[in-house]
Amino acid sequence: MTPGPVTPGYDAIINSAALLDLSARGRIRVTGDDRARLLHAMTTNHVQQLKPGEGLYAFFLDAQGRIQADAFLLCFDDHFLIDTTAATRQSLFAHLDHFIIADDVTLDDITDQTFCLSVEGPHAIDSTGKSGISVPYQRDSHVRWGDLIAAAISSTGAPAVRIYGPVSGRDQTITLLERSGIIAASPQDAETARLSRYVPLYGVDITEKSLPQETQQMQALHFQKGCYIGQEIVERVRSRGHLNKLLLGFRGQGEEAPARGTKLFVEGSEAGEVTSAATANGEFFGLAWVRTPHNTSGMIAEINGAAAVLHSPSA
């Protein structure tokens, strides 16, 4: 990916507030008396301790500890809402459905019946509040405002308010937000912004081959929660304290973004490869898998002949 000049949408995400349409992401509603127990046993985080109005970020693993999907889970009085990437919408639904045997759990894919918008940027909370929509302040928490749900979830690493609602109210909600001065940003703007803050994306930077600790997204893990699918591998990695590679951000001076798969060198040795990258304001930046012992934040790498400083990814 090699974006052109900085756009108003990208500038708004970085400096004020921008509106993103995330409706392509998958949304699964989970109901039934056993919903918390089932989700707790299938994710890396502590679902059973959630109270209505709270949420969390988690991985879904296979028995080998590899990440099959990531998702935000929001807890309500009578259901959970799972927000996952478009790429894992169907596979995650099938994965969950496979493990519902004698459980009182019902899954409903509500993606097509709902919308998902996000206001992102340093003024996102204030700007959304000016529109009249109630806003949450604690990370991953959520509040209701009429038919809408507003959650403190970001896709770019900036402060954000993610808004869900019935698809019939999408246009009205967009108008409401735009009247408060929030401008629309493109998917490319959002991609550049997330990479500028080293925010990994499942299916691009994190894949079905990744182990949880390799991603450095430790907010997705809870080490005292009890058994879940893939836990044995996660615990083995934790006890041994060694990983062969880590996901890291990088940043250097240059007008051209390295392509996916571009090799990364440290002290003349091949040490990893780029997963995604972008450019803005004369810099290139992105994410890469970097092998041990070269995967330390602050280390200088070489990408396409240019120097780049390695950084820990956003969590």
In a domain, 186, yes or no: yes
247-270, pLDDT tens digit by residue? 999 999 999 999 999 999 999 999
Which candidate, 165, 166, 164, 26, places its Cα nearest to that of 95? 26
Rounded mean pLDDT, 174-196? 97
Indicate if 297 and 181 belong to the same structural domain: no
Q: How do residues 260-297 score in pLDDT, each as one tens digit?
A: 999 999 999 999 999 999 999 999 999 999 999 999 99
pLDDT of 241 above 90:
no
In a domain, 83, yes or no: yes
Same domain, 187 and 250: no
Is 59 a domain residue?
yes
- What's the average model confidence in pLDDT over 83-107? 96
Show which of 158, 179, 194 is a domain's final residue.
194
Q: How far is CA 280 from CA 2, 60, 184, 204, 251, in A?
A: 9, 34, 18, 20, 11
The answer to whether residues 173 and 114 belong to one domain is yes
Beta strand pairing call for 55-61 and 67-75: antiparallel
What is the structure's pLDDT at 265? 97
With a cut of 60, say whether residue 151 has pLDDT above it.
yes
CATH of the domain at 154: 3.30.1360.120
Domain C-terminal end among 164, 194, 224: 194
Domain count, the chain: 2
pLDDT for the residue 163: 98
Host domain of residue 274? 244-315
Tens of pLDDT along 188-210? 999 999 999 999 999 999 999 99
Region 33-51: mean pLDDT is: 97
Asked if residue 3 is part of any domain, the answer here is: no
Of 6 and 95, the one with more pLDDT: 95
189 and 284 in a common domain: no
Q: 101 exposed, middle or buried (CB, 10 Å; 0-12, 13-18, 19+)?
A: exposed
pLDDT above 60 for 124: yes
pLDDT above 80: residue 2: no
Q: What is the 3-state secondary structure (H, E, C) of the chain?
A: CCCCCCCHHHHHHHHCCEEEECCCCEEEEEECCCHHHHHHHHECCCHHHCCCCCEEEEEEECCCCCEEEEEEEEECCCCEEEEECHHHHHHHHHHHHHCCCCCCCEEEECHHHEEEEEEECCCHHHHHHHCCCCCCCCCCCEEEECCEEEECCCCCCCCEEEEEEEHHHHHHHHHHHHHCCCEECCHHHHHHHHHHCCCCCECCCECCCCCHHHHCCHHHCCCCCCCCCCHHHHHHHHHHCCCCEEEEEEEEECCCCCCCCCEEEECCEEEEEEEEEEEECCEEEEEEEEECCCCCCCCEEEECCEEEEEECCCC
Q: Does the pLDDT at position 3 exceed 50?
A: no
Q: Determine, yes or no, domain membership for 288.
A: yes
pLDDT above 60 for 59? yes
Residue 147 has pLDDT above 70, yes or no: yes
For residue 159, cis peptide bond before it (omega within 30 degrees of 0): no
Tell me the CATH number at 285. Answer: 2.40.30.110
pLDDT of residue 5: 57
pLDDT computed for residue 39 by the predictor: 98
In this model, does residue 1 exceed pLDDT 70? Answer: no
Distances (CA, A) of 64 to 67, 228, 231: 9, 12, 9
Pair 115, 254 in one domain: no
Residues 176 and 264 reside in one and the same domain: no
pTM, two decimal places:
0.95
